Structure 1
Amino acid sequence: MTMWKINLYHCVVFLSSLGLYQSCCPEGWVKGRYSCYYPSSESASWQAASARCRSMQSNLVIINDYDENHFVTGMLKEYIQAYKHNFWLDGTDAQHEGYFLWSSTRQPISYKNWNVHEPSGGNENCIEMLVKEYANLDTIGKWNDKICSYLNHFVCERSVDDP
């Protein structure tokens, strides 16, 4: 597969006391408060999804707080009919069972939005956000641990300021 560098950007220009500030996201990405998000329509294992995000100078999404979880959930709900699966997040406990961390930063997960009776452990070492499978109005946006080889959609995240 050939990767094309995307030079089209969605930009928001801010005026501040420091002068003109431009905040951009590449074409096909959604601008959040501090990040650009790429909701993928393709399906991949957690490892392949992580590699795909890195190929786009990003990582699987890290959910830092309730507001970000709510934003990402809302973004995915906008196009829910186009999706068949749930979405991979950057979290994993593959290195130490029961100790989830964000893979790209190696930081422990502080904000959590687990579904009831989750995480369930065993060989389910990667975190998915429930959007389609096993999701209803009460569980959309909740998290589940899943076998990493399962094929899910994924969300990539990069800083708004990244070129």
Structure 2
Amino acid sequence: MVVNMLKSVLHIYLLTTSVSLICGSKPEILVKTMDDIISDFDYEPYKLVGEKLLYFGQVEVNWFKANDICHTMNGYLTSIENEREMNAITEYLNTNLPNVHSWWVSGNDLASEGNFVWANTGTSMNYSLWSREQPDNYNRGENCVHVCLYDHGYKMNDWECRHESNFICEHEKPIAFSVNVLRK
């Protein structure tokens, strides 16, 4: 995100310099971020789901391989930070992929048993919608989180990282700017 922002600042600087040379005076630049503009762009194979760019990998691989695949696609296994994000993913799955019932996300407790974090941010899983009696660390070997269809809805479950599941990658949303150049 920082690199994208620096590129945008450089483009604005170059625009300012170009306009100064053409107009003979330094223009006033008004810059506004536009969070909603993303829907106008195509980021295949990622889809805009709720407020995130997501890719639903429909091949079953273990958690580590899923994480690697996401990285090769300039993304990462997704985190689900709140109910709104969970609802958006659930709605997308129910509508578009109703026959696929298990999806890796970035949650894990690999570093410290019972302390689940999102791998892509390193932050604690403050929001979770666990299946009944989960997480349970069954056989002391379940350290990765997947979202699975449970009791007619998608819920989170801790599962062995070496098991295979589909996966959800997330791509960082680009920063869009609106630039207005006013001649003095």
TM-score (norm 1): 0.78
- Change in Cα spacing, 1:77 to 1:155, as seen in structure 2 (3 Å) is same
Given that 2:56 and 2:169 are in contact with CA atoms closer than 8 Å, whether structure 1 keeps it comes out as yes
Q: Is the 8 A contact 1:38 1:156 kept in 2?
A: yes
Aligned to 1:3: none
**Contact 1:25 / 1:160 at 8 angstroms: preserved in 2?**
no
1:141 to 134, 143, 154: 154
Return 5+ residue gaps in structure 2 as ranges: 1-30, 176-184
Partner Cα distance (1:161, 1:66) in 2: 23
Is the 8 Å Cα contact of residues 50 and 88 (structure 2) preserved in structure 1?
no
Name the structure 1 match of 2:134: 118
Greater RCO (CA < 8 Å, at least 6 residues apart): 2
Match of 2:111 among 81, 90, 95: 95
Inter-partner Cα distance in structure 2 for 1:123 and 1:25: 40
Q: Does 1:28 align with 2:45?
A: yes
Partners of 1:69 and 1:126 in 2: how far apart? 17
Within the candidate set 59, 82, 85, 1:42 is matched to: 59
Q: Alpha carbon RMSD of aligned pairs, Å?
A: 2.2
* CA distance in structure 2 between the partners assigned to 1:19 and 1:98 by the alignment: 39
The answer (yes or no) to whether the contact 1:50–1:60 under 8 Å persists in 2 is yes
Deviation at 1:25, TM superposition (A): 4.6
Deviation for aligned residue 1:32: 3.0
Indicate conservation of the 8 Å contact 2:78/2:120, yes or no.
no
Question: Aligned with 1:67: secondary structure?
Answer: helix
Tell me the distance in 1 between the aligned counterparts of 2:151 and 2:42: 31
Q: Deviations over 1:73-129 (max 9, x none)?
A: 11111233452x500010000111100001121111111111110000121000010
Structure 1: gaps (5+ residues)? 1-16
1:161 maps to 2:178: no
Aligned length: 141
* Distance in 2 (alpha carbons) for counterparts of 1:145 and 1:111: 14
Q: Is the Cα–Cα contact under 8 Å of residues 53 and 60 in structure 1 kept in the other structure? A: yes
Q: Which runs of 4+ in 1 moved over 4 A?
A: none
More helix by share: 2
Within the candidate set 10, 32, 38, 1:18 is matched to 32
> Deviation of residue 159 (structure 1)?
2.1
TM-score (norm 2): 0.70
Over the matched positions of the two proteins, sequence identity in percent amounts to 24
